[in-house]
Amino acid sequence: MGTHLEPDAGPAAEARDALVRAIVHEGGLGDPAWRAAFEEVPRHVFVPYYFIGRGGTYERMWCLDPDRARRERWLRGAYYDMPLATRVRDGELISSSSQPSLMARMLDELRVEDGNTVLEIGAGTGYNAALLSHRLGEDRVTTVDVEPEITESACRHLAAAGYHPTVVTGDGARGCPERAPFDRIIATCTLPSVPFDWLPQCRPGARILAPLSTGLIALRVSDDGPTRSAEGHFLRTSAYFVPLRGSDAAAEGHIGGLPRRVIENDLFRFLLTLTAGSLDPHEALSLWERERRPQRERFGVTVSGDHQWAWLDDPEGPYAWPLGPARQTAPPA
């Protein structure tokens, strides 16, 4: 793949520099190490094709398009600060390359330190794993995806860009115990709840950053003797990702009868999704209005023992809702 991309090195570098400047202008990439990663890792290598939605259908942009103008559009589009649909199956989006400014924000919030080992859930195109490899070293990065087609293409893209982290085909909800322990776990797909299997694979003090509902939860892992627990708040920013493959996203429930202005409010949708199955939508609306339309950062998540729950303001306070089913333990032999 590298050969046909070489003639675009000049335009690609210019487009990449413009993208980095735009992210910096908006307050991102304050860490010089992450800025260097975004400046040097070529995003276009990871998206040799992508899809643009057009009136319910998808238009394919391709690096080998015989039309020169369309090839130039493909290259420019690879460096727009926007998510790119990279795999569509039967009209359903199953994989994408995330918006670069959101990726920069998430990597900054991951708070990595030199020497950290990182597990990424959702290999996607491989671009995020390349950024992590640039920052930490490829031997300290593991990325997992359930789709063999995705991991195979991610490996090709990473190799073309000169990176060789560990790429594993498997269920991301199960983590990657053979590569544990990890100092950081980052997910690039929306979770219905925090997978219990991740915590034993973390070192005490590890940080987990993952999309949940329409937000980003940042958890600190604690050592509780023979078990691990985790707790933390949501970040202020919104986040919309493809759901974790192989897991059922939480249903939003029936929202008939609610005012459109409420249904379309981003913060209410966050609460509605977070409490799905626990609160009737009208109860959620009463809570939302009574608490003066709380921002995401007032909410948090606790994972302890066999249970986990979301909460408002205080993990032991009056507003708490179970997340996902309780952990299933094996019956005695």
pLDDT for 246 beyond 80: no
How does residue 77 score in pLDDT terms, banded at 50, 70 and 90?
very high
The pLDDT assigned to 194 comes to: 97
Do 226 and 283 fall into the same domain? Answer: no
Do 49 and 155 fall into the same domain? Answer: yes
Do 163 and 287 fall into the same domain? Answer: no
Q: In the chain, helix, strand, coil percent, each to 5?
A: 35, 30, 35
* Number of folded domains that form the chain: 2
Q: Which of 196, 211, 237 is the last residue of a domain?
A: 237
pTM for this prediction: 0.92
Do 55 and 172 fall into the same domain? Answer: yes
Do 85 and 160 fall into the same domain? Answer: yes
Do 147 and 257 fall into the same domain? Answer: no
pLDDT for 244 beyond 90: no
- Asked whether residue 245 is assigned to any structural domain, the reply reads no
128 neighbors 150 (Cβ within 8 angstroms)? no
Strands 215-224 and 227-238, by their bridges, are antiparallel
The pLDDT assigned to 292 comes to: 97
The pLDDT assigned to 329 comes to: 54
Q: How far is CA 148 from CA 124, 142, 191, in A?
A: 11, 15, 20
Element spanning 302, H or E: strand 299-304
pLDDT for 9 beyond 90: no
- Asked whether residue 65 is assigned to any structural domain, the reply reads yes
The pLDDT assigned to 243 comes to: 82
- Asked whether residue 164 is assigned to any structural domain, the reply reads yes
The pLDDT assigned to 260 comes to: 87
The pLDDT assigned to 249 comes to: 42
The pLDDT assigned to 213 comes to: 93
Q: Over the stretch 127-138, which tens digit does the pLDDT of each residue have?
A: 999 999 999 999
Tokens matching residue 55: 């009136």
Annotated catalytic residue within 95, 97, 193, 213: 95
pLDDT for 328 beyond 70: no
- Asked whether residue 150 is assigned to any structural domain, the reply reads yes
Q: Which of 209, 237, 265 is the last residue of a domain?
A: 237
Do 266 and 224 fall into the same domain? Answer: no
Q: Which of 237, 270, 285 is the last residue of a domain?
A: 237
Q: What's the domain range around 263?
A: 251-322
Whether 133 sits among the annotated catalytic residues: the reply is: no
To the nearest whole number, what is the mean pLDDT of the chain?
A: 91
Tell me the three-class secondary structure of 127-177, residue by residue: HHHHHHHHHHCHHHEEEEECCHHHHHHHHHHHHHHCCCCEEEECCHHHCCH
Do 208 and 260 fall into the same domain? Answer: no
Return d(Cα 80, Cα 18) in angstroms, integer.
9
Do 273 and 176 fall into the same domain? Answer: no
Do 75 and 177 fall into the same domain? Answer: yes
Do 262 and 308 fall into the same domain? Answer: yes
Do 227 and 260 fall into the same domain? Answer: no
